Amino acid sequence: MTRALTLHDIIVAGIAIAAGLAVALLLRVILRWLAERARRTKWAGDDIIVDVLRTLAPWSSVAIGVAAAAAALPLTSQVGHTVNQVLTTLVILTATFTAARVISGLVQTVAQSRSGVAASATIFVNITRIAVLAMGFLIVLETLGISIAPLLTALGVGGLAIALAMKDTLANLFAGVHILVSKTVQPGDYIRLSSGEEGYVRDINWRITVVEDLSNNLVIIPNAQLAGTNMTNFSRPEQNLTVTVQVGVAYDSDLEHVERVTNEVVDSVMKDINGAVPDHEPAIRFHTFGDSRIGFTVILGVGEYSDKYRIKHEFIKRLHHRYRTEGIRIPAPARTVALQHSGQPEIPHPRTSPDALPDRPGTAA
C-alpha cells in the first residue's frame, strides 16, 4: 500500500522535472556551439557525433528528469512500471530515429564520394533507414514485453505471398542493387541506352533510375530494364573521352602546312576552352582521296560527354578562320556532267520518202 501524496513529494517531482528540462536546454546550447566548431574541421566524424548528441542528449535528459520525478512520487508498482516502460520506449525511439538519420547520411556520403559527383543513390539510403527502424521497432516490442517470435514467423510465412505479388517491384529492387554493386552505372555517369535514351544518371532508387538529358528533362527508366538492355557508359572506365571532326582540303593544298596549322588550332582550343583536356596531344589522320577534296580526321580531347558540343563548335569556328587566313581552301562538293551528241544526219523513213512512193496512174513522169 502506497503512502499519501504530500506537498514535499510534489515539490521534489517538480524540481526533478525542471532540472531535466534545464539540463536539456543547456545541452542544446552547448551542442549547437560544438556543431558550429565541428563544421570548421576537416574530419567528418565530429559532425556525426555532435549530430547524434544534439537529438539524443536533450531527450534523454528530459526522460531522466521525469523518471526521477516518478520515483519521488508515491506511485503504485504497476504505475511506476508503466512510467518506466514509456520513458524507456521514448529513449529507444529517439535513439532509433537518430541512428537511422545518421547512418543513412553516412551511406549517402559514401555513395557521393564513390561517384565523385554531388549525386545520390537513394536505394541504399532507403534500405539502410528501413533496416535501422525495423530493428528499433523490434527492440521496443521486446522492451514492452511483447514476444517478437510470432511476428517473425508471420513475416516469414507472408513473405512468400508478398514476393509473388510484388515480383516486378522486387525485380527492380534487386536490379538496382546489382547495378550499384557491380559499378556498371553510378550516379553522375553519362549513359546512352540502345533504345536511344541518354543523359546523366541523377538517382538510382528502389524501383527506377532517374536520368537527366541535356535538355534538363528527366527520363524515368525501370531498374530491370536498365540492367537488361545494351548500354554505353561514357563516364567509365575514364571520364575523359575523345571526339572526332571530319575535315577536307583542296587537292592543291600543302598537306604538311595543313597539318601544322590544324595542330595549332587544336592546341589553342584545348588550352582555352573550358571542358577540354589541356594535355591532349593533337592527332590528325589523312584517310581519303575524295571527289573534290582530301579528307582527314581531327581527334579532340573532351573532359566529359556534354562538353563535346562546345568543343567542336569552337574548333570549327577557329579552324575556318585560320584556314581563310592561311589561304587553305575547303572546296565545296562539285561534279562535272558531260553531254555527248552523235553527229550523224537524220535518215528519213523509207515509207515517208518521196522517192519510195509508187507511181500513181494518170500522173506524168
What per-residue confidence (pLDDT) applies to 280? Answer: 84
DSSP, collapsed to helix, strand or coil, labels residue 196 as coil
Average pLDDT of the chain? 78
CB-CB contact of 264 with 319 (8 Å): no
What per-residue confidence (pLDDT) applies to 347? Answer: 54
Has residue 127 got a pLDDT over 80?
A: no
Strands 190-193 and 294-302: unpaired
Has residue 94 got a pLDDT over 60?
A: yes
Question: Structure pTM?
Answer: 0.53
Alpha helices per DSSP H over 116-201: 122-143, 149-165, 167-182
C-alpha grid cell, residue 218: 528527366
Q: Quick one: average pLDDT of 187-211?
A: 86
Torsion angles phi and psi, residue 77, rounded to 5: -65, -35
Band (pLDDT 50/70/90 cuts) for residue 262 is: very high
Beta bridge partners of 285: 297
Q: Which residue has the higher pLDDT, 93 or 51?
A: 93
User: What strands, in cross-sheet order, belong to the sheet with 294-302?
Assistant: 241-249, 294-302, 283-289
Beta bridge partners of 283: 299
Q: Quick one: average pLDDT of 189-215?
A: 86
C-alpha grid cell, residue 241: 573521352
> Per-residue pLDDT tens for 226-239?
888 888 888 887 77
C-alpha grid cell, residue 145: 514485453
Beta bridge partners of 233: 191
In the DSSP assignment, the letter for residue 146 is -
Three-state SS string across 275-334, please? Answer: CECCCCCCEEEEEEECCCCEEEEEEEEECCHHHHHHHHHHHHHHHHHHHHHHCCCCCCCC
Has residue 92 got a pLDDT over 90?
A: no
Strands 294-302 and 241-249: antiparallel
Counting beta carbons within 10 angstroms of the beta carbon of residue 133, is it exposed (0 to 12), middle (13 to 18) or buried (19 or more)? middle
Residue % of the chain over a pLDDT of 70: 80
Instruction: Name the residue with cell 506524168.
Output: 364
Band (pLDDT 50/70/90 cuts) for residue 320 is: very high
Pairwise CA distance, residues 47 & 341, whole Å = 92
Has residue 41 got a pLDDT over 50?
A: yes
Has residue 346 got a pLDDT over 60?
A: no
Nearest to 48 by CA among 58, 39, 57: 39
Rg (CA), the chain: 41
Positive or negative torsion for Cα 169, 170, 175, 181: positive
User: H or E stretch including 190?
Assistant: strand 190-193
What per-residue confidence (pLDDT) applies to 337? Answer: 72
Has residue 352 got a pLDDT over 50?
A: no
What per-residue confidence (pLDDT) applies to 353? Answer: 46
Q: Which residue has the higher pLDDT, 365 or 187?
A: 187
C-alpha grid cell, residue 236: 567509365
Strands 208-212 and 198-204: antiparallel
CB-CB contact of 180 with 98 (8 Å): no
What per-residue confidence (pLDDT) applies to 117? Answer: 43
DSSP for 55-124 reads: HHHHHHHHHHHHHHHHHHS---HHHHHHHHHHHHHHHHHHHHHHHHHHHHHHHHHHHHHHHTSS-B-HHH
Report the interhelical angle of 167-182 vs 122-143 (nearest 10°).
Answer: 120
